[in-house]
Chain A
Amino acid sequence: MKIVLYICLLFSSLLYANVIEVGPTKPIKSIKKAISLAKVGDTIMVHQGLYKEGNIIINKKIVFLGKNLPVLDGQKKYEVLSIKADSVVVDGFKVIKSGYATLEDPCGIKVYNRNDVVIQNNVLDDNFFGIYIQNGRRCIIKNNRLVAYGTEEQKLGNGIHCWKSDSLQIIGNTISGHRDGIYFEFVTNSIIWRNISTRNIRYGLHFMFSNDDAYISNIFKNNGAGVAVMFTKNVKMFNNFFEENWGDAAYGLFLKEISDSYIIGNKFSKNTSGIHMEGTNRIQVEKNVFEANGWGMKILASCSDNVIKNNNFLGNTFDISTNGSLVLNTFNNNYWDKYEGYDLDKNGVGDVPFHPLSLFAVLTETNPSAMLLFRSFMITLLDKSEKILPSITPDNFIDNSPLMHSLAL
């Protein structure tokens, strides 16, 4: 019995961690001093107030808590919060005005080569880079709100920037006004879930050399160039919204050199191009909705073995466009609102194949100015005769089993 008691006491003393309170009315007024006093496992509770302490470095495993959003001000000179210890928790701060430098990339919050760091419920306002994970593992970035106000790409950093990391979780963040909303380079086995990335200058999400990741149920809206996923394999893109990415080089989703990936259940609406594919192989594009885009999908001739099936194409100016006559992709069982065929056996699948590539889409691809003539009566006539007797458009660009009714997606 005594032994049990001793063991309990021993554990409780181990479990017991100090709470160090910092605030304008508390005995300790400086965060830096609190960190220097703290021992491993302590909690530092920062109360409401404005803290201008330059670069705050957390080099111990502590819980760093903010109460009522205390403001950490970088005064446009310093990196605000540098995390140089494993398993640090940063929760509930308002981090503003990090410095600007092109060599060092000062951030709102930066993790240096550490694992298991949790950054949550923070507000980051007007920083160069927002949250930066450099060579981290199993870090969680959750429910943060990031805003920046720059107008030039060179003078802006990314919202959530992750480099050479593994097993990250980026969940429920709201990012706007940065260069790239979320940036992934050499990040593997990670998940991006339920984030909202809007009005960023370049990409809502930028993905490079990052294999085996998934992004699910995010909203990418009104970004300068949409979302780019490049030089990557095994990416899963499920149930995201890509909306209103407008401009010449703006795409709902831009894919370059991607292979063995899945694009399922997404909604692309009102983009200049819904999906732009370049050099992509073996991708499943399934159960997506393409609605009111300029171009639903642009599939360049360098793509092969992609399967596009069970999608809805509704009210796009052009459903599909391509730049060559080589077609190595399959289209099956999609619903095209431009389909004019019939279904005599009433099995829900049209009896005549559909050519999704219109003559005019090919014409504008070779000569963009021809857009001037779009919907003119002449062009409509030409388009109709091309549909019946394909001569300019590749005749194997075809959906053999177009659906008669749109899928409930």
Chain B
Amino acid sequence: MNRIIRIIFLDILKNKIILAYTIILGILSWSSFGLEDNSAKGLLTILNIILFTVPLVSILFATIYLYNSSEFIELLLSQPIKRKKIWLSLFLGLSLSMILAFFIGAGIPLLVYSADSVGLMMLVVGCLISLVFVALAFLSSILTRDKSKGIGIAIMSWLYFALLFDGIVLFLLFQFSDYPIEKAMVAVTALSPIDLARIQILLQLDASAMMGYTGAIFKNSFGTSLGLLISFLLLCSWVIIPFFISLIKFKNKDL
């Protein structure tokens, strides 16, 4: 298994795209941190990277990589290796390289300029978001054999989580504003990994505003150590569940 991971990992590193991704993240982060004396602008830039760029690149790159390496996968399948092992090492290789890219590109400037609770939270959440969207890529690529369809599904799911979901939540908020929906809304956010990530960062970044009335509800739901644990577990389940479904499908797939 380790050897397969190594092969995939090296193959991805040879692929210049991940290198470019790392460099772009690095340029964005370093320049936005260097722009002003306080780290606020830089943190906001990285927040937007985590909520927008990281999911997009992770899901698209992973999906396309999976489709392109279908022949390699078939070759591996002809060997006496368990299907589970192949799929898992593919996942580990891909997610490891995505996390590494995020860590070098955005993580190091974060640690240099803002090595406090906000920076650490962003680092952890950014890595988790990379993992979540690699897992979603595995799911979307196993759903269909058609490459263009698979990439379409990947883009759609990114659009849904990054934009549409918030639109729906906003709509719900205003439609049901006469009802006490704060707690229900807290539950609804569990349905989107990006929202979970965003709120965790928000609680660190906008601590003063979060002390207000509704902020207090979120603080009580997410900000306590139990809430923190639950939202991290939820984020992890966003990694595990899509990957697990894809694994079952891969095991039973007629290639």
Residues facing A in B126-181 (CB within 8 A) are 162-163, 166-167, 169-170, 173-174, 177, 181
**A371–B162 contact, CB under 8 A?**
no
**Bound Cα distance from A274 to B198, whole angstroms:** 25
Is A369 in contact with chain B by the CB < 8 A criterion? yes
Chain B minimum-CB-distance residue to A371: B214
CB contact under 8 A between A369 and B177, given known A293-B208, A294-B212: yes
Contact indicator A272/B167 (Cβ below 8 Å): no
Is B247 an interface residue, CB under 8 A from the partner? no
Residue B33 CB within 8 A of the other chain: no
Q: C-beta contact mask, B190-215 vs A, less than 8 Å → 1, else 0?
A: 00001100110110011111111111
The minimal Cβ–Cβ distance linking A294 to chain B, given in whole angstroms, is 3
Are A294 and B166 neighbours in the complex by a CB distance under 8 Å? no
Structural contact, A367 and B208, CB atoms closer than 8 A: no
Contact B162 A375 (CB under 8 A): no
Please tell me if A315 contacts chain B, counting CB pairs below 8 Å: yes
The interface on chain A, measured as residues whose beta carbon lies within 8 A of the other chain's beta carbons, has a size of 32
- Mask, A359-390, CB within 8 Å of B = 1, is 00000101111111111111110000000000
Report A286-314 residues with CB < 8 Å from chain B CB: 292-295, 314
Chain B min CB distance to A21 (Å): 53
* Chain A residues in 8 Å Cβ range of B248: none
Give residues in B with beta carbon < 8 Å to A. 38, 40, 44, 47-48, 51-52, 162-163, 166-167, 169-170, 173-174, 177, 181-182, 185-186, 189, 194-195, 198-199, 201-202, 205-216, 218
- 8 A–B contacts, CB within 8 A, in A order: A248-B216, A250-B211, A367-B173, A370-B173, A374-B206, A376-B195, A377-B163, A378-B163
> Beyond the given A247-B211, A372-B189, could you list 20 further A-B residue pairs with CB under 8 A, ordered by the A residue number?
A246-B211, A247-B216, A272-B209, A272-B211, A292-B208, A293-B208, A293-B209, A314-B38, A315-B38, A315-B40, A364-B214, A367-B177, A370-B174, A372-B199, A372-B214, A375-B44, A375-B198, A377-B163, A378-B163, A378-B170
Give the interface of A toward B (CB within 8 A).
246-248, 250, 270-272, 292-295, 314-315, 317-318, 337, 364, 366-380
Which 3 A/B pairs are nearest by Cβ-Cβ distance? A294-B209, A317-B209, A248-B213
